[in-house]
A and B are shown apart, each in its own frame.
Chain A
Amino acid sequence: MPEITYRQALKDAMIDELKRDENVVIIGEEVAQYNGAYKVTEGLLKEFGPKRIVDAPISEAGFIGMGIGASMLGIRPVMELMFWSFAYVAWDQIINNAASVRYMSGGQINVPIVIRGPANGGTGVGATHSHTPENFIANTPGLKVVCPASPYDAKGLLKTAIRDNDPVYVMESTIMYNDVGEVPDDDYLVPLGKADIKREGTDLSLIAHGPSVLVCLEAAEILKSEHDIDAEVVDLRSIRPLDEETIVNSVKKTNRAVLVEENKPFCGVDAQIAYLIQNQAFDYLDAPVQRVSAIDAPAIYSPPLEKIQLPKADVVVKKALEIC
């Protein structure tokens, strides 16, 4: 199987869908002539031309709202946000209009839009550029949100998102854009709402999404090599819809769980996962559920401190050892 980067996997997904459906159009800041701020759309303008690959001015509320309006007529816009942090200036469009139009029309309209871009910290860009709003999105009925953590999932989930008839928001990570992994050439899809066991284990469940999955895989290696603890790593992949079954089954098997995410702790995604586990696997738990989140403050700039603020393998190991 060919090995490609996470970045290439995303691009391949868009290429496949641009070829498959003439209503797919890529719109965003610097996506065309500049070849993408993070080069995810590199070469697409040359291959598909300016009708399909559109450079937008810096007007997130304007161009995302425009995409929502166009999607009501059957266009399938794939909107790139240079950072998901920039979504906040378009929040009314992203949250109110995209999520509510179907409901408020009594089901007469659907909004087949994809909004994608990186949502992660750890790159020294400070508080305004380091947001991870998957919890906000997941809190909004009408929206779907996925956080791929591997090249395989990036391609499969983005293709599914583009074909989906509801708004699907894809949160990527600049830190993972260069990560390499096996990705088939064929037209595979990864369904929304299906978690993936990234590492099998029996002693403890490490449950994560996005870049925190990689942190958990690193922690699992340390737990195995230094403490002889066999951790299972569950990658949620999709936040809404959520694969509750895989989470609960893993905890029922291991009887212990550490939840890891880049969200801030209060009302983060893992608050919901913790509730789920106590509700559906209470009798299987041998210890309280533990969480590792970003330290609860705006994202700090100072590079060494930023590393400390975000989930790290040694903190995950420490939390795991507290309950093992």
Chain B
Amino acid sequence: MTNATETKKAKRQKPAKANLAKEAKSQANKDLSDEQLVGFYREMVRIRRFEERSLRAYQQGKIAGFLHLYIGQESIAVGCISLMQENDHVITAYRDHGHALAVGMSMDECMAELFGKATGCSKGKGGSMHYFDPARNYWGGHGIVAGQTPLGAGLAYGLKYQGKKGCALCFLGDGAINQGAFHESLNLASLWDLPVVYIIENNGYSMGTSQERSSVHPEIGLAARADGYNMNWAKINGESLFDIREGVKNAMDLARNECKPSLLEIHTYRYQGHSIADANHKKYRTKEEIDDYRKNHDPITLYRDFILKSKLLDEDQVKQIDQDAKAEAEKSAQFAEESPFPEEGDIVKDVYWEEDNPDQKVSEGRIFFND
């Protein structure tokens, strides 16, 4: 008899070290212009500086609730979203700041949302976990683990129903893969050939529980679960923006051209806690592990080295991008600080479409029950 808890479980495996100079020549990347290549760097740096500034604001008591930082994972949002076309859509979970900035939302509206201000992207009604910008095909920002995964299938269903050639990118964390809604979504996506690309941003920990303590999977990794749904899958090294673009482009093409879903697993790491309320390495991981990722696998550092080696930019220009991002983040904090809070009357707005459009209201009776 083997005690189940003693059975050897497959562990998260670190991918082979990225080689950006080589990966930049792959199919999805070889035609990128210098401007685009520099643009990716700028986007990643903007996300990091924005979040570092938001962390300070949180520590100053300007931001309430949770703040799930994306620091360490920026290559994923920037790489994936750089591949989006007109009819592509994106939806994610609560670690959503990076995706928001990557689709083009402004630092001002994002920071103001964290501060709970009326000028925030959701008028201060959503907070950190609930950024939205449907005009940029960005459908949130969802707070319940895996709760967005059926919605992602729905975006793909809607595209297919309307006969549009596009796909939905649905991001989730590695903690979401054990939720029932996720498995139901995979089955539906494969059963109905929905053009959705599920992207597991595997940072190794579902809150404080490591992958090996939460998820059984074949030695090769989490995404292999897709085999059970007869679905295309792949594993991608998240420290290389180029690897991300290559792998995700293949999946997006499959979705757009053949209406086939995919499940991708991108290996990544977050340096901060699950949220800022999380005690971090003192409880569930070692300082050495965090330092190793920071020093040797940071996607921005690796990309900066590539940019410098390729002579796309020199040291001064790289520094300038960094300083510009810091200044933009600082300005956004100032904007957020100076913006007004929503008014009391705003609490009952944006609840029902019909109440917000009184000229088209057809319902009668009482809809709010405040005395």
A binding-site residues for B, Cβ under 8 Å? 23, 25, 51, 56-57, 59, 61-75, 89, 92-93, 96-97, 101-110, 112, 141-142, 144, 160, 164-166, 189, 191-195, 238, 240-245, 272, 279
Bound Cα distance from A72 to B158, whole angstroms: 9
Bound Cα distance from A65 to B194, whole angstroms: 14
Nearest CB of chain A from residue B103's CB, rounded to whole Å:
13
The reply to whether B154 and A193 contact each other, CB–CB distance below 8 Å, is no
Interface centre among A65, A189, A242 (most CB of B within 10 A): A65
The reply to whether A25 and B366 contact each other, CB–CB distance below 8 Å, is no
The reply to whether A72 and B151 contact each other, CB–CB distance below 8 Å, is yes
Contact among A57, A65, A164 with B354 in the assembled complex (CB-CB below 8 Å): A164
B binding-site residues for A, Cβ under 8 Å? 89, 91, 120-126, 130, 132-135, 139-142, 144, 147, 149-155, 157-159, 161-162, 180-181, 184-185, 187-188, 191, 349-354, 356-357, 362-369, 371
Question: Which 5 A-B pairs rank lowest in CB-CB distance, beginning with the nearest?
Answer: A69-B154, A65-B150, A193-B365, A62-B184, A107-B350
Nearest CB of chain B from residue A18's CB, rounded to whole Å:
14
Asked, given contacts A105-B134, A109-B132, A166-B353, whether A69 binds B142 with beta carbons under 8 Å apart, the answer is no
The reply to whether A141 and B121 contact each other, CB–CB distance below 8 Å, is no
Bound Cα distance from A165 to B353, whole angstroms: 6
Bound Cα distance from A181 to B142, whole angstroms: 45
Bound Cα distance from A67 to B362, whole angstroms: 24
Chain A's closest residue to B132 (CB) is A105
The reply to whether B188 and A141 contact each other, CB–CB distance below 8 Å, is no
The reply to whether A191 and B364 contact each other, CB–CB distance below 8 Å, is yes
Q: List 30 A-B contacts (CB under 8 A).
A: A62-B187, A65-B147, A65-B151, A65-B153, A65-B185, A66-B151, A68-B151, A69-B91, A69-B154, A69-B155, A72-B134, A72-B139, A73-B89, A92-B147, A97-B151, A102-B351, A103-B350, A105-B350, A106-B121, A106-B132, A107-B349, A110-B353, A142-B352, A144-B363, A144-B367, A191-B362, A240-B367, A241-B365, A241-B366, A245-B365
Bound Cα distance from A25 to B161, whole angstroms: 10
Chain A's closest residue to B127 (CB) is A104
Nearest CB of chain A from residue B266's CB, rounded to whole Å:
22
Q: Across the interface, which residues of A come within 8 angstroms of B368, CB to CB?
A: 141
Contact among B141, B188, B357, B362 with A62 in the assembled complex (CB-CB below 8 Å): B188
Bound Cα distance from A164 to B357, whole angstroms: 12
Bound Cα distance from A112 to B369, whole angstroms: 22
Bound Cα distance from A64 to B149, whole angstroms: 11
The reply to whether B132 and A193 contact each other, CB–CB distance below 8 Å, is no
Nearest CB of chain A from residue B229's CB, rounded to whole Å:
12
Chain A's closest residue to B371 (CB) is A279
Asked, given contacts A66-B157, A75-B161, whether A243 binds B151 with beta carbons under 8 Å apart, the answer is no
The reply to whether A242 and B161 contact each other, CB–CB distance below 8 Å, is no
Contact among A104, A141, A195, A244 with B140 in the assembled complex (CB-CB below 8 Å): A104
Asked, given contacts A101-B140, A105-B132, whether A243 binds B364 with beta carbons under 8 Å apart, the answer is yes
The reply to whether A67 and B130 contact each other, CB–CB distance below 8 Å, is no
Nearest CB of chain A from residue B170's CB, rounded to whole Å:
9
Nearest CB of chain B from residue A91's CB, rounded to whole Å:
11
Bound Cα distance from A106 to B184, whole angstroms: 29
The reply to whether B352 and A104 contact each other, CB–CB distance below 8 Å, is no
Interface centre among B132, B149, B155, B159 (most CB of A within 10 A): B132
The reply to whether B150 and A73 contact each other, CB–CB distance below 8 Å, is no
Q: Across the interface, which residues of B come within 8 angstroms of A103, CB to CB?
A: 125-126, 350-351
Bound Cα distance from A101 to B140, whole angstroms: 9
Bound Cα distance from A238 to B366, whole angstroms: 10
Q: Across the interface, which residues of B come within 8 angstroms of A195, CB to CB?
A: 365
Q: Across the interface, which residues of B come within 8 angstroms of A109, CB to CB?
A: 132, 134, 139
Asked, given contacts A97-B147, A142-B351, whether A244 binds B366 with beta carbons under 8 Å apart, the answer is yes
Chain A's closest residue to B192 (CB) is A54
Contact among A23, A61, A89, A102 with B150 in the assembled complex (CB-CB below 8 Å): A61
Q: Across the interface, which residues of B come within 8 angstroms of A194, CB to CB?
A: 364-365
Bound Cα distance from A65 to B363, whole angstroms: 25
The reply to whether A61 and B153 contact each other, CB–CB distance below 8 Å, is no
Q: Across the interface, which residues of A come within 8 angstroms of B367, CB to CB?
A: 144, 193, 240-241
Contact among B89, B132, B354 with A165 in the assembled complex (CB-CB below 8 Å): B354
Bound Cα distance from A62 to B123, whole angstroms: 30
The reply to whether B132 and A65 contact each other, CB–CB distance below 8 Å, is no
Bound Cα distance from A160 to B350, whole angstroms: 21
Q: Across the interface, which residues of A come within 8 angstroms of B144, CB to CB?
A: 92, 96-97
The reply to whether A63 and B151 contact each other, CB–CB distance below 8 Å, is no
Bound Cα distance from A279 to B369, whole angstroms: 13
Contact among B150, B185, B349, B365 with A243 in the assembled complex (CB-CB below 8 Å): B365
Bound Cα distance from A141 to B352, whole angstroms: 8
Nearest CB of chain B from residue A303's CB, rounded to whole Å:
34
Q: Across the interface, which residues of B come within 8 angstroms of A72, CB to CB?
A: 134, 139, 151, 154-155, 158
The reply to whether A69 and B366 contact each other, CB–CB distance below 8 Å, is no
Asked, given contacts A69-B158, A107-B123, whether A193 binds B366 with beta carbons under 8 Å apart, the answer is yes
Bound Cα distance from A23 to B89, whole angstroms: 19
The reply to whether A160 and B362 contact each other, CB–CB distance below 8 Å, is yes
Bound Cα distance from A314 to B124, whole angstroms: 53
Nearest CB of chain B from residue A307's CB, rounded to whole Å:
33
The reply to whether A108 and B161 contact each other, CB–CB distance below 8 Å, is no
The reply to whether B364 and A63 contact each other, CB–CB distance below 8 Å, is no
Contact among B185, B362, B369 with A66 in the assembled complex (CB-CB below 8 Å): B185
Interface centre among B121, B140, B353, B357 (most CB of A within 10 A): B353
Chain B's closest residue to A111 (CB) is B353
Nearest CB of chain B from residue A306's CB, rounded to whole Å:
31
The reply to whether B155 and A242 contact each other, CB–CB distance below 8 Å, is no
Q: Across the interface, which residues of A come within 8 angstroms of B371, CB to CB?
A: 279
